[in-house]
Chains A and B, each alone.
Chain A
Amino acid sequence: MDSMHDLGGMEGFGPVQPEDNNGSVFHAPWEGRVLGLQRAILYSEAWNIDVFRHAQERIHPIEYLSWSYYERWTHTLIATALERGLFSLDEFRAEVSLTGNLSESLKVLTVKGVDKTFVRGNFERDGIHDPQFSVGDLVITKELHVNGHTRLPRYARDKIGTIIAIRGRHVFPDAVVSHGAENPQWLYTVEFEGCEVWGEASDTTVSNLVDAFEPYLSRPEYD
């Protein structure tokens, strides 16, 4: 969906405010609790990271911009848990389960098992189809406006670029969110000249690279 999260190329947010390395990791103790809860829920497989990202995309634009990162996470976790029936609103308000235990149907992250979860999961999948494109190929990104989750940013749509790497065949986030299937697709790194994306007057020394799934790409046609 084309909402507030797709920030690349927008203007008017003012200068970046760098933060020095000495800042603590969390700015308040509740931020750490939210991070831990999010990781425990992902481990339980109640939903996956793509569903979590899409839930954040559905935050109202005004709230998306005014909430902090971990505020967004908190609201998203609660909303998704309610939406998916992890608990009811009454249970959330009472802070106590009225309808039984989730540990029978979902995996529980224990202290003993937690260390293993710090190594990121692998999103690459085997398959029989060869990639449609090769390194060096010119491609054009599609003008896609997906009414769900997608990972092709607006600024990189309908642009001609060059495949610089093939990253393997990966779980397709669009499919995970739209119909709960992994539907793996080849993933490419595509490089666009800055002028192709930002216009002829832009800095000619800049190029933009995105990781694009095969369904986002086609071959450019010339007259």
Chain B
Amino acid sequence: MSGSDHHDHSHGEESILTDIQKRVKALESILVSKGLVERATIDQIIEHFENKVGPHVGARVVARAWIDQEFKRALLEDATKAINSQSDFPQVGQHLIAIENNDSLHNVVVCTLCSCYPWDVLGLPPVWYKSAPYRSRIVSDPRSVLKEFGLELSEAKKIRVWDSTAETRYLVIPQRPVFLGVKSESELAKCVTRDSMIGTGKVSPLSEDNVNG
């Protein structure tokens, strides 16, 4: 269906982009003119999502759960309450639910109906999380989809696929790999990848390769 006229297609995409830029600019301008929006507020929202919130928040939560059994127990009971009880974590919204992987169970999270995602601990969702290929097939054939991410699970391992269909939000607590050895919380946090907290990726052995660093 696609690709038969590749040159025209990419040219078309360029003009769509121009069109969308115009629309966004017009929307912002009219809302500013209407007194409903302040441009500086929009700047600050962008700044927040670009620089403040992101997977590094969730990674610290996971690392603390690996080190501190009492925190982990509280986290699995009520993740919102547990995180908000820690003075050095940013406040998170209600109904955040932590789900823990173990030797016999793997958890993976999706939103098949839109793109619900635990923004306050992971930041904005990656493009694939919002895409049709992921949303359609992770529920029916998770093992194959996870393989596309390079995550090969043993055939005996149970997989739970959590569809975020309401205002609950799910954070996967990956297993602490033995190869990480003894490390500090901040060193461990650098190994916790975004995808490992969605359930589609591994914990990284090389902290310096990770964006959380």
Contact = CB atoms under 8 A, between A and B. Distances in A.
Interface in B21-80: 21, 23-31, 33-38, 40-46, 48-50, 53-55
A151 B137 contact: no
B38 A21 contact: no
Nearest to A203: B143
Given A74-B27, A119-B92, 10 more contacts: A17-B128, A18-B195, A32-B42, A33-B24, A34-B27, A53-B114, A122-B93, A187-B166, A206-B159, A206-B161
Nearest to A168: B95
A162 interface: no
A102 interface: yes
Contacts of A53: 113-114
Interface of B: 16-17, 20-21, 23-31, 33-38, 40-46, 48-50, 53-55, 91-95, 110, 112-115, 119-120, 123-124, 126-128, 130-143, 145, 148-150, 155-169, 193-195, 200-201, 210-212
Contacts of A35: 45-46, 49, 124
A56 B111 CA distance: 14
B175 to A, nearest CB: 17
A24 to B, nearest CB: 8
B50 A202 contact: no
A121 B24 CA distance: 26
B24 A34 contact: yes
Contact of A102 (B34, B130, B193): B34
Closest 9 CB pairs of A and B: A120-B93, A8-B112, A36-B42, A103-B35, A211-B166, A21-B211, A95-B29, A32-B46, A36-B45
A96 interface: yes
B160 A124 contact: no
A33 B135 CA distance: 25
Contact of A212 (B94, B143, B165): B165
Contacts of A39: 45
B41 A123 contact: no
Contacts, number: 285
Given A16-B134, A74-B20, A119 B120 contact: yes
A11 B136 contact: yes
A208 interface: yes
Interface string A86-129: 11000111111100011100101111001000111111100000
A84 interface: no
A187 B168 contact: yes
A203 to B, nearest CB: 6
B145 A16 contact: yes
B27 A77 contact: yes
Interface of A: 5-11, 13-28, 30, 32-37, 39-41, 44, 46, 53, 56, 65, 68-69, 71, 74-75, 77-78, 81, 86-87, 91-97, 101-103, 106, 108-111, 114, 118-124, 151-153, 155-156, 167-168, 170-171, 173, 187, 189, 191, 197-198, 202-203, 205-213
A20 to B, nearest CB: 8
A97 B30 contact: yes
A106 B36 CA distance: 7
Contact of B42 (A37, A65, A68, A87): A37
12 contacts: A21-B194, A26-B49, A33-B28, A74-B27, A91-B34, A95-B29, A110-B41, A119-B92, A120-B119, A121-B93, A207-B159, A209-B161
B210 A21 contact: yes
B160 A207 contact: yes
A95 B26 contact: yes
A209 B142 CA distance: 13
